[in-house]
Amino acid sequence: MFHCNGWCFPWTMSLVFGTHVCLRQVRPEPIWQALGDHGVTHLCGAPPVMSLLVSAAPEVRRALDHRVDFFTAAAPPPEKVLAGMEAAGFNVTQLYGLTETYGPAVVNEWHAEWDSLAPEPRTRLKARQGVRYTPLEQLEVMNPDTMEPVPRNGETLGEVMFRGNVVMKGYFRNPEATAKAFAGGWFHSGDLGVMHPDGYIQLKDRSKDIIISGGENISSIEVEDALYKHPAVAIAAVVAMAHDTWGETPCAFIELAEGQTATEEELEQHCRSNLAAYKVPRRFVFESIPRTATGKIQKNELRKRLGG
């Protein structure tokens, strides 16, 4: 609850006379226990929290006999994780925003007619970040050089930008950073995404997380999504690693699911079956991935481990 006021959900639950179940640590056992013992109906968490839940050992998991709404933000969740959450009985809703936009300012507002879609296209729709909250004046994906909106084709990459009175006034005592963030009259999020024809945005990567290898842009999210399709992978994080020839190439940090095993060669072959050759990680590191108290992966710490 210390982070962004718990996305304001603690206030909301109190307003509707809900019961708060507070946990000291983000671990699958107490979460599953609370779901079963207390009949928890709503919870929030970053995508790694979902990965922990769906990869928990069978003896830890509980059969859900009631609807559980899971609200996720902080990073785009892999489609495999979204599918796993749905199979486990969770209804996942994506939120999106930054500290500079109060927190969540965008929601994947669900359409009832999407419920009748087959699992795969329904999961693809779940992977979008969505449309603006009512208090946010404007939300757009724009070319940061021309400050023109990108075509609404779900393919053209641009920077997500915000306007409205829930956006910060500026950075404290830092006019230079403020001017840069608001260049052209919009708040620049630093997130890269696309705009779909129906007006829903979908993130593709943070601009600082894009890996440029031999002049080709590689989305770390795309590589992570491919890794999550391997049954042994519980959590994956991909960052740039220095390379003498290509400048930088992907490096994958992996946490394996409980009771599962996988080798570097196995994961490399798996990636080659799902990605273009130049996007395949050149190195796989099997170790604990650093996360914040809210479960968000700390890629800056991973870069430090690589000397970046």
Q: Which has the closest alpha carbon to 2: 103, 95, 107, 131?
A: 103
The Cα–Cα gap between 239 and 223 comes to 10
One-letter amino acid of 110 = W
Identify the CATH assignment for 4-132 out of 3.40.50.980, 3.40.50.1860, 1.10.3720.10, 3.30.450.20: 3.40.50.980
> In which band, very low, low, confident or very high, does the pLDDT at 174 lie, cut at 50, 70 and 90?
very high
Answer yes or no: is pLDDT of 219 > 80.
yes
Q: According to CATH, where is 3.30.300.30 located in the chain?
A: 210-305
Tell me, what's the pLDDT at 308?
60
Say how far apart CA 196 and CA 42 lie, in whole Å: 28
User: Mean of the pLDDT values across residues 249-273?
Assistant: 96
As a whole number of angstroms, the distance between CA 128 and CA 132 comes to 12
Secondary structure class of 158 (helix, strand, coil): strand
CB proximity list for 153: less than 8 A, separation 6 or greater? 194, 195, 196, 197
Residue 73 has pLDDT above 90, yes or no: no
Can you give the pTM of this predicted structure? Answer: 0.83
In the numeric block, the tokens 């006999």 are attached to 65
State the burial class of residue 119 (Cβ atoms within 10 Å of its Cβ: 0-12, 13-18, 19+): exposed
Burial 66-80 (b: 16+ CB within 10 A, else e): eebebbbbbbbbbbb
When pLDDT is averaged across residues 253-263 and rounded to a whole number, the result is 94
- The CATH 2.30.38.10 portion of the chain extends over 138-207
Mean pLDDT within 212-239: 92
Integer Cα distance of 289 and 204 in angstroms? 21
pLDDT reported for residue 251: 97
Output the CATH code of domain 210-305. 3.30.300.30
Start-end of CATH 3.40.50.980 domains in the chain: 4-132
Q: What pLDDT does 232 receive?
A: 95
Provide φ and ψ at 164, rounded to 5°. 150, 170
Beta bridge partner(s), residue 256: 233
CATH architecture of the domain formed by 138-207: Roll (2.30)
- How far apart CA 283 and CA 265 sit, in angstroms, is 10
Q: With bands split at pLDDT 50, 70 and 90, how would you rate the model's confidence at 74?
A: confident
pLDDT of residue 77: 87
Average pLDDT over residues 114-130: 94
pLDDT beyond 90 at 46: no
% of the chain at pLDDT higher than 90: 81
